[in-house]
Chains A and B, each alone.
Chain A
Amino acid sequence: MVRHDVVVVGAGVAGMRAAIEASRYGADVAVVSKLHPTRSHSGAAEGGINAALGNASEDSPEQHTFFTVKGSDYLGDQDAIAVMCEEGPGDIYELEHMGCIFSRTPDGKIAQRPFGAGGAPRTCYAADITGHVLLHVLYEQLVKSQVTVYEEWFALDLVMDGDRCVGLTAWDLVHGGVQGVEAGAVVLATGGLGRMYRGTTNAYACTGDGMSMAWRAGVALKDMEFMQFHPTTLKANGVLITEGCRGEGGYLRNAEGDRFMFNYAPNAGELASRDVVSRAEQTEIDEGRGVDGCVLLDLTHLGAKKINTVLHGSRELAMDYAGVDPIEEPIPVRPGSHYHMGGVDTDVWGRTSMPGLYAAGECACVSVHGANRLGGNSLLETVVFGRRSGAAAAQDVRSNGSGGVFSPSAVRVAERRIAQLLYNFDGVRPHVIRDELADTMYSNAGIFRTAEGLEQCVADIADLRERYRDGLGVVIQDKSRTFNSDLIQALELGSMLQMADCLVTGAVARTESRGAHSRLDHPDRDDEHWLRHSLTSYDDGQVALDYKAVTITEFEPAVRTY
């Protein structure tokens, strides 16, 4: 049993930023993460982080706000978007002073490149390894701040006293055993859930654990049906090739060599928003103008020098995982599940409906991305709302103290459950259910959706959840308590099944097309009925659906074209 004022779950950019901020407020802070912090998936972000610095052209936070609202297909909350865009530049300067190696303009300022649907060159970058650079800089600051890190502890469940969150239980992967983690406030920063799809850019660790913990504890999840498909991922293993490739001038071509994007987005072309580009690519592929199920990302005209300096990482990935040198020939790419816009419903300070519980980063939904996120806005979200939730959690503890009693029985209950899972010998291996889930999500809840497909998906997930039986339907072959990754993968599967259920329940109900949620049977946006957030909540193991209003301040919904 350990005790801290603020406990952050997850150690990517959002989690570490929250922990650093909370510790600046004088709180005793700890981080619980199933991975060592530098293994987090924030490190795979490549292209950059948006902020209206105005280093490459005239720009303003208002411009940034407008293009983000438009990109969200008007589902983003405009007050939250304004906060992010106004505070963004300050956060970038702070990251730079922490040591972030941003690429530079000739006069030594932070360089900025254009990204899809941004309206201006607003994306700050460190070559094409921006996330890696940010993640390591924040880890450096975390080490400096002497925050306690419980590495390779897998968070199991939130612990409540009445309606207040007072901590969590976690499985210590290296040593075995359930640990009670008592906290004055908990910040969830556990990232996304892309692994529930076949063909994803996401790491194996992106299994929606934090969202599912919150959901089981009765906290509502918002806009779960919105999953972004990134237009440029590699066929073999889904690895991401950055939007920066198009930002630097790369072309998308079909089998006939045509730059087809101008047929879909006459003005923006390759730099339309991600949902638009992914749909265009899929249409080209479906109509027979693809190349082995892909389209071609052509960088050859950029030249070796540019590729080797600002797109060096992308070249390495293309060579390692597609056997293609982009200096010589185009990279075959296709859309893949990439970023989940939905998550734990929070306000602009990361507060959830549960006292003592906060969330930030991809596992949260503030919402600043609405129905479609702009490239470069996710890293920005992690630092702005990571910082804000860390500050709010620390202040919460200062004014409310511990807030409740952590009952030790929570640890015993968790121990008993793990023992039951380990000593179950009856069922299938977890990968059987995991693969079936990934297949049905890809086929039925992908880029283009229909009522028929989504209903099939709902049925499939119900069947899979029944076979999984809260973990008692799968066999964990490793019976050891030391570094049992077989156990962790079985638990992660549980999170994914629950979150897939929420995602698809939201998607079936939303009979319109908005942003990344594209219904072939309801091709138009329907503001009259659907300009609202969905809320999915826990109802005795099943998903209950509700809605809430979108905050509109300045920008009235308009037709969205690029």
Chain B
Amino acid sequence: MEFTLKIERYDPDTDQGRLQEFTVDAPETATLLDVLDVVKDTVDGSVTYRKSCRMAVCGSCGMRMDGAAVLACKTPMAPLAEEGRVPVISPMGNLPVIKDLVVDMDPFWAKFKAVKPWLEEDDRPPVKEWRVQQEELDRIMKEALCIQCGCCVSECNSMEADPDFLGPAALAKAQRFVGDARDRDRSERLRTLNGPHGVWDCTRCYFCNQRCPKGVDPRDAIAKLGAEAFRERLTRDEGAKHAKVFVSSTYRGGYLRETELVPKTIGPIGAITQIPFALQLARAGKVPNPLSPHKAKDNAEVKRLWKLLEAQTPTTRERATRGADGAGA
């Protein structure tokens, strides 16, 4: 079967970039990685990308196809060729490009290392395994699927605005430990993660969930971290306060009251500095009347929904016990 694609080339020696089109023959079952291999073997050996396992577990071949991050080895090409589409293959976003489709992963790993990515437990030598219920471990199984390919980071809108934002991959890794019944560093982790560039800087665009090739759902992991922080009463960050006002405001009136959102998020003094901005919004007709009650018609239904949600939220967690000769200790 014939496949045509365009590859965004970048030559570090000359600092020149260009878009180059290739047409090659490959089996109908070919993935994007297979097609790139045929290009490299038979047309141009200087086309450069990372690869290894070709079974979506090593995380080497993250790149973009038509602007969206994919694992090349998990992307079948026949459907595109049948439609006559000529995809543009480019390097992942939010990371510096080294050459062609290869990006510098150092900033990615620096954030990974910043979340203290290892289990903290007591230092006594292990005698037996920790006794943990399967249901407890299931809570972190999704995060444990992560292969650190960087597809989520590539697509992260918050990181585009703030390159220091920890980002979806590192935060999902953090949740893998925060949610681990054996970890004893949970509170300290949550305190750090609730600081600047942390949990609350996510804009909830859900691109990470959408583009993750392994179903890790990093945004859900970030949400879990936020919920854990609330449980630990870590609500001093502006992002946390913002979330709190959302909760209390909608609980009371069924609607969000924008006029209380700003002062309660950034404080009365901060709110005063925002008055010119508010007036600008008002002139554009984007501020609701602050004096109207702004209540939903059937607030009772809203409250019933809240009760339902609360009932589903687990309040207690079963911790792990140290297994020693069959007995917990």
- A141 neighbours in B (Cβ, 8 Å): 118
User: Which residues 94-121 of A have a CB within 8 angstroms of B?
Assistant: 94, 96-99, 101-104, 106-110
- B55 neighbours in A (Cβ, 8 Å): 44, 237, 239-240, 317, 321
- CB pair B48–A478 under 8 Å, yes or no, is yes
A44 interface neighbour in B53, B99, B117, Cβ under 8 Å: B53
- B112 neighbours in A (Cβ, 8 Å): 143
- A338 neighbours in B (Cβ, 8 Å): none
Task: Report the Cα distance A485→B50, complex, angstroms.
Answer: 8
Task: Report the Cα distance A144→B12, complex, angstroms.
Answer: 33
- What is the CB-to-nearest-CB distance from A326 to chain B, in angstroms, rounded to a whole number? 16
User: Which residues 28-73 of B have a CB within 8 angstroms of A?
Assistant: 29, 34, 40-42, 44-46, 48-60
A40 interface neighbour in B41, B45, B58, B119, Cβ under 8 Å: B58
Task: Report the Cα distance A133→B244, complex, angstroms.
Answer: 36
- What is the CB-to-nearest-CB distance from A397 to chain B, in angstroms, rounded to a whole number? 25
B311 contacts partner chain A, Cβ-Cβ < 8 Å: no
A480 contacts partner chain B, Cβ-Cβ < 8 Å: yes
- B49 neighbours in A (Cβ, 8 Å): 485
- CB pair B46–A478 under 8 Å, yes or no, is yes
A555 contacts partner chain B, Cβ-Cβ < 8 Å: no
A431 contacts partner chain B, Cβ-Cβ < 8 Å: yes
- CB pair B13–A482 under 8 Å, yes or no, is yes
- A126 neighbours in B (Cβ, 8 Å): 144
- What is the CB-to-nearest-CB distance from B42 to chain A, in angstroms, rounded to a whole number? 7
Interface magnitude class on chain A: 35 or more
A265 contacts partner chain B, Cβ-Cβ < 8 Å: no
Known contacts A96-B129, A132-B57: A431-B41 contact under CB 8 Å:
yes
- A236 neighbours in B (Cβ, 8 Å): 27, 29
- What is the CB-to-nearest-CB distance from B181 to chain A, in angstroms, rounded to a whole number? 10
Chain A: CB-nearest residue to B181: A108
Known contacts A41-B58, A129-B145, A480-B11: A140-B53 contact under CB 8 Å:
no
- B102 neighbours in A (Cβ, 8 Å): 483
Chain B: CB-nearest residue to A174: B98
- Residues 125-159 of B, flagged 1 when their CB comes within 8 A of A and 0 if not, give 01111111110010011001111100000000000
* 19 cross-chain CB contacts under 8 A: A39-B53, A43-B53, A43-B58, A93-B129, A97-B126, A101-B141, A108-B130, A108-B132, A109-B131, A129-B57, A136-B144, A143-B113, A143-B117, A203-B53, A203-B54, A317-B55, A320-B56, A477-B44, A478-B46
Which residues of A does B touch, CB under 8 Å? Answer: 35-36, 38-41, 43-44, 90, 92-94, 96-99, 101-104, 106-110, 126-127, 129, 132-133, 136, 140-141, 143-144, 174, 203-205, 236-237, 239-240, 316-317, 320-321, 429-431, 475-480, 482-486
Beyond A38-B59, A108-B133, A485-B50, 10 additional pairs, beta carbon < 8 A: A39-B58, A43-B58, A99-B182, A104-B134, A204-B54, A320-B56, A321-B55, A475-B45, A480-B11, A482-B98
